[in-house]
Amino acid sequence: MKSPVIRRGTLLVIALILLYILVFSVFTIGRYARYNATGWDLGIFTQLTWNASQGRPLQNTLAEHDTMLAIHAPYITVILAPLMWLWADPRLMLIAQSVILGLGAWPIARLAGRTFREGWIPPLFAALWVLYPALGWMNRWDFHEIAPAATFFAFAFDAADRRAWRETDIWLILALLCKEEIGLNVAFFGLYMWLRYDRPRLPCLMWLFSGTAWFVIHAFVVFPNLRGADNGLPIHANRYNWLIHGTPRGIWDYLTGPDLGRKLGYLFKILAPLAFVPLIVPPVLLPALPTIGLNLLSSYGQQFNIYMHYQAPVIPTLIVAAMFGAANLRDRIQRRSWRFVPKTRIMPVIGGVLLLASLGMWLAINPLWGDPGDSAIFGWDSGAHLNALREVEDLIPPDACVVADNNIEPVYSVRRETYVLGARGTGPVGDGDGCAYMIVDLGDNRHDDFTIGEEVACFQFWSGKRTPIYFRDTVVVLHWEGDSTVPPVSADPDAWQQMSDYCAAYGAAPGAD
């Protein structure tokens, strides 16, 4: 029978999980409702998951290629597809992500319960999980295929500690299905099991080689071939051009250049919430090393910060390392018999330091109202013209093709054909020529990520390709008139006049300076 302390601890862990799920479900849905979610990436993964539920796995019209396997390997969208049979809506993806990430606290708490005798420690590490800033920021920014890997690795760590190898393998397989680069983390997890738990060498080597092969085959065979890349490299290899094509002098200049300070700041942000305790047990960090290495070698600034989705495999590894590091530190102090720290006070002191570090960093860079700097990941910020945008939702047919601003597109992502304005380049393709409806918030330029929406909308209007059928509060809906494949829609005279006035003032009229 469990003691009252353990029972209370279990209830507290459950309460922390439920609170996390509630807070981030409400927050991310509120962010979506304020038109601050984005087509890149909530729209992409919503459409991928919905398409999979309709028998079109890994197909989309939002990313750089219709076949997502030319870019990434998000097989997890196929696993999640049945959810779309219950509610085909982007908000379902946000709730599912919050639930999955919140549940990661459970295996962390179980592992803590076996590592320490004190009943209050499992809730402490569950709290470290839900308060970890990088986890919250990953949850805040849309939905990403790699996010569930954080929880899958947490369960894998717990199962490996119990020597439940079949269960461990299942969690590692699920992690592999999230993204191609997870293969490297799984490969290093094989080394971790061998070194820490003395798992038989053969299965560990199998994970080492199969995980590496998973990454190599996808990145250097599947992706470039489906994309028709002449260089045989994945699309994101350009983030490492300084290393791939750089001269020794150029490499040295980059390594000592402005990004060095930002990368040191990145290391601080992932380690400080855990008071740097993970560094006490370096071997436990093995599964995170591929991701940390890729992030530090990248020249893409968003990859070496904590505000996006690039830390998924790092999060569980660091928290587990903090757990084992705390146990290691306790044992060292006990062996030294320091009189000024009674043995009964050692863990409360270590736990207090961990909790204070976590709370301090959460308050400093928390994902609910924190500032993501140049990442432009808006929370409940105002800027979109909501009344007009919500009227437009009732105007657009459910099956019609839509091309829209990056923050408008997610609302229209559950359909076969939908585009983010400019995401596929400039000109007719990027402008969505032939797509029935174009929706642009001319007064909200926070999400001009790929092109300037005002310029495109005015060009389409003046060129006669599209006619305005709605205009309110700078939100315009333009209907395609370029060919007979799209049924004509009568222009709204007021919308036409307002669009004409706006574009003339903007300077996009024919012959304007």
By the 10 Å C-beta count (0-12 exposed, 13-18 middle, 19+ buried), 153 is classed as: buried
pLDDT (mean) for 239-266:
95
Lowest mean pLDDT of 50-59, 265-274, 331-340, name the range: 331-340
Tell me, yes or no, whether 512 lies in a domain: no
Is 81 in a helix, a strand, or coil? coil
Q: How confident is the model at residue 512 (pLDDT cuts 50, 70, 90)?
A: very low
pLDDT in tens, 14-51: 999 999 999 999 999 999 999 999 999 999 999 999 99
- DSSP H or E stretch at residue 479: strand 475-480
Tell me, yes or no, whether 413 lies in a domain: yes
> Side chain identity at 374, as an amino acid letter?
D
Percent share of the chain, pLDDT over 70? 96
pLDDT at residue number 360 = 97
Q: Do 443 and 345 reside in the same domain of the chain? A: no
Asked if pLDDT for residue 100 goes beyond 70, the answer is yes
Q: Do 331 and 473 reside in the same domain of the chain? A: no
Tell me, yes or no, whether 380 lies in a domain: no
**How many C-alpha atoms does 158 have within 13 Å on its Cβ side?**
22
**How many C-alpha atoms does 168 have within 13 Å on its Cβ side?**
19
Alpha-carbon span 392 to 404, nearest angstrom: 12
Alpha-carbon span 233 to 240, nearest angstrom: 11
Total tally of structural domains belonging to the chain: 2
pLDDT in tens, 107-158: 999 999 999 999 999 999 999 999 999 999 999 999 999 999 999 999 999 9
Contact in structure between 458 and 451 (CB atoms under 8 Å): no
**pLDDT greater at residue 393 or residue 482:** 393
pLDDT at residue number 2 = 64
For residue 44, what are the contacts with CB-CB under 8 A and spacing of at least 6?
60, 62, 63, 68, 413
Tell me, yes or no, whether 216 lies in a domain: yes
Q: Do 133 and 271 reside in the same domain of the chain? A: yes
What separation, in Å, do the N-terminal and C-terminal C-alpha atoms of the chain show? Answer: 81
The torsion of the CA quartet 390, 396, 401, 407, rounded to 10 degrees, works out to -10
Q: Do 294 and 341 reside in the same domain of the chain? A: yes
Phi, psi angle pair for 227, to nearest 5°: -90, -10
Q: Which among 237, 308, 428 has a CA at the least distance from the CA of 40?
A: 308
Q: Do 275 and 369 reside in the same domain of the chain? A: yes
Q: How confident is the model at residue 484 (pLDDT cuts 50, 70, 90)?
A: low
CA distances from 258 to 310, 371, 450, 468 (A): 21, 21, 25, 46
pLDDT (mean) for 471-483:
91
Alpha-carbon span 346 to 175, nearest angstrom: 36
Q: Do 322 and 202 reside in the same domain of the chain? A: yes
Note down the domain range covering 278. Answer: 4-375
Alpha-carbon span 176 to 183, nearest angstrom: 6
pLDDT in tens, 192-208: 999 999 999 999 999 99
Domain boundary among 309, 342, 375: 375
Tell me, yes or no, whether 513 lies in a domain: no
Q: Do 409 and 368 reside in the same domain of the chain? A: no
CA distances from 96 to 91, 315, 412 (A): 9, 19, 19
pLDDT at residue number 371 = 87
Alpha-carbon span 330 to 227, nearest angstrom: 53
Asked if pLDDT for residue 265 goes beyond 70, the answer is yes
pLDDT in tens, 335-346: 876 666 677 788
pLDDT (mean) for 259-273:
97
Give the pair of three-digit tokens for residue 228: 């028709």
CA distances from 259 to 224, 265, 308, 352 (A): 29, 10, 17, 34
Asked if pLDDT for residue 485 goes beyond 80, the answer is no
pLDDT (mean) for 74-92:
98
Tell me, yes or no, whether 315 lies in a domain: yes
This prediction has a pTM of 0.95
Q: Do 54 and 191 reside in the same domain of the chain? A: yes
Domain boundary among 318, 352, 375: 375
Q: Do 127 and 204 reside in the same domain of the chain? A: yes
Q: Do 419 and 449 reside in the same domain of the chain? A: yes
Tell me, yes or no, whether 125 lies in a domain: yes
pLDDT at residue number 340 = 63
Contact in structure between 448 and 457 (CB atoms under 8 Å): no
Domain boundary among 335, 354, 375: 375
Q: Do 414 and 344 reside in the same domain of the chain? A: no
The DSSP code for 72 is -
Contact in structure between 71 and 437 (CB atoms under 8 Å): no
Is 427 in a helix, a strand, or coil? helix
Contact in structure between 406 and 39 (CB atoms under 8 Å): yes
Percent share of the chain, pLDDT over 90? 87
For residue 47, what are the contacts with CB-CB under 8 A and spacing of at least 6?
60, 61, 62, 413, 414, 415, 418
Contact in structure between 499 and 470 (CB atoms under 8 Å): no
Count the helices and strands in the chain (H runs, E runs): 23, 5
Q: Which among 175, 159, 187, 158 has a CA at the least distance from the CA of 76?
A: 175
Average pLDDT of the chain is 93
Q: Do 365 and 392 reside in the same domain of the chain? A: no
Signed CA dihedral, 144, 149, 152, 153: sign only: negative
